[in-house]
């Protein structure tokens, strides 16, 4: 059995997090992942606080295992979401797209662990000093809002910069990525895209099919000039974003184009106008599986691989 320090720290069986994905990871996916022994994470995204409260309560109805909520820090009403999470109580909060520093004490006072996503060693060190319990070092292979460094580059550097557990994210969808992350010094992995193509993920079937049909270069980065680059699967909307970039269009044009596009992907499955956030590893995902199959296959195959690795030592 693969056990790492993060397992005892947050009370999970396997060091595998399901990335909190806006409009994609609801209570059903999160509780399914937690029930199998990973850490399921509800993606709060732009949910109103009342909806997030309902999601947390439904997750509690469906699992007695630890689960988390991911919050996006640049939201204007983030304080309301923080208060709602504290009121309801969850095991873990992961944060994205900003500096979690000001919220860490508040969460700790409510006995909630805080695990910020960091795209750099500078933010990693700041988050450790601010009291973060662990970090998620996320490479730009990921879907959604991304930083600039690759997973291979950011994970060992963040591991070297801090003394708290580091979870590797970005471009991981199978046992080889899991073992590679452990080799880089990570204490576990976070996967988003792999969990999009699971039975328990309630996104529109068109989004799942796009992930399953994607090839290696289909997940492209849009919105770079806005300061919030986002990786999505290539479609008409992505091409329109890229066109705005080539014409150096005003930033307001991006906002107009992106309005409602996550809902268009997740709920309506609109292949032309949806923002189908996905990581580059979609190119390797070929079938929809259950959450249990995904997690148990990765863990079991990783154990075999780690055992087999000694074959490279000769003489």
Among residues 145 and 234, whose Cβ is nearest to ligand TUI?
A: 145
**In angstroms, rounded to a whole number, what is the distance separating the alpha carbons of residues 54 and 73?**
20
Q: Least Å distance between CB 254 and ligand TUI? A: 9
Q: Is 138 in the site for ligand TUI (CB under 6 A)?
A: yes
**In angstroms, rounded to a whole number, what is the distance separating the alpha carbons of residues 211 and 219?**
9
User: Residue 277 gets which letter from DSSP?
Assistant: B
Q: Is 119 in the site for ligand TUI (CB under 6 A)?
A: yes
Q: Is 279 in the site for ligand TUI (CB under 6 A)?
A: no
Would you give the distance in Å from CA 76 to the centre of its chain?
21
Q: Least Å distance between CB 167 and ligand TUI? A: 12
Q: Choose, by CB under 6 A, the member of 16, 22, 56, 186 that binds ligand TUI.
A: 22
Q: Is 264 in the site for ligand TUI (CB under 6 A)?
A: no
Of 9-17, 24-32, 94-102, 300-308, the segment contacting ligand TUI by CB under 6 A is: 94-102
Q: Choose, by CB under 6 A, the member of 38, 144, 188, 279 that binds ligand TUI.
A: 144
**In angstroms, rounded to a whole number, what is the distance separating the alpha carbons of residues 10 and 3?**
12
Core vs surface per residue 271-281: b (16+ CB within 10 A) or e: beebbbbbbbb
**In angstroms, rounded to a whole number, what is the distance separating the alpha carbons of residues 189 and 211?**
20
The length of the chain is: 315
**In angstroms, rounded to a whole number, what is the distance separating the alpha carbons of residues 197 and 206?**
10
Among residues 108 and 228, whose Cβ is nearest to ligand TUI?
A: 228
Count interface residues toward ligand TUI (CB under 6 A): 18
Task: List interacting residues with ligand TUI (CB under 6 A).
Answer: 22, 45, 72, 96-99, 117, 119, 123, 138, 144-147, 228, 230, 277
């Amino acid at each position: 059995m693969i056990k790492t320090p993060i397992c005892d720290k947050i009370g999970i069986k396997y060091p595998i997090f399901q990335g909190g994905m806006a409009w994609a990871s609801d209570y059903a996916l999160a509780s399914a992942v937690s029930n199998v022994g990973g850490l399921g994470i509800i993606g709060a995204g732009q949910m109103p606080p009342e909806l997030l409260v309902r999601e947390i309560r439904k997750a509690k109805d469906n699992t007695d295992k630890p689960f988390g909520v991911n919050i996006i820090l640049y939201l204007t009403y983030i304080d309301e979401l923080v208060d709602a999470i504290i009121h309801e109580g969850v095991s873990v909060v992961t944060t994205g797209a900003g500096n979690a520093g000001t919220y860490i004490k508040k969460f700790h006072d409510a006995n909630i662990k805080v695990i910020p996503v960091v795209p750099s060693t500078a933010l990693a060190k700041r988050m450790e000093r601010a009291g973060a319990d662990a970090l998620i070092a996320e490479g730009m292979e990921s879907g959604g809002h991304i930083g600039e460094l690759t997973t291979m580059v950011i994970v060992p550097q963040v591991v070297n910069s801090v003394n708290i557990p580091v979870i590797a994210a970005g471009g991981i969808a199978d046992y080889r990525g899991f073992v590679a992350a452990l080799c880089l010094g990570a204490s576990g992995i976070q996967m988003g895209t792999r969990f999009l193509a699971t039975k328990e993920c309630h996104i529109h079937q068109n989004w799942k099919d796009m992930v399953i049909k994607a090839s290696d270069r289909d997940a492209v980065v849009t919105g770079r000039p806005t300061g919030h680059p986002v990786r999505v699967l290539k479609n008409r909307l992505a091409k329109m974003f890229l066109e705005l970039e080539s014409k150096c269009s005003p930033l307001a044009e991006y906002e107009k184009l992106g309005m409602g596009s996550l809902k268009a992907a997740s709920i309506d499955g609109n292949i032309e106008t949806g923002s189908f956030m996905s990581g580059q590893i979609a190119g390797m995902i070929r079938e929809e599986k259950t959450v249990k199959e995904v997690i148990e296959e990765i863990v079991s195959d990783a154990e075999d691989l780690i055992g087999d690795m000694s074959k490279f030592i000769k003489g």
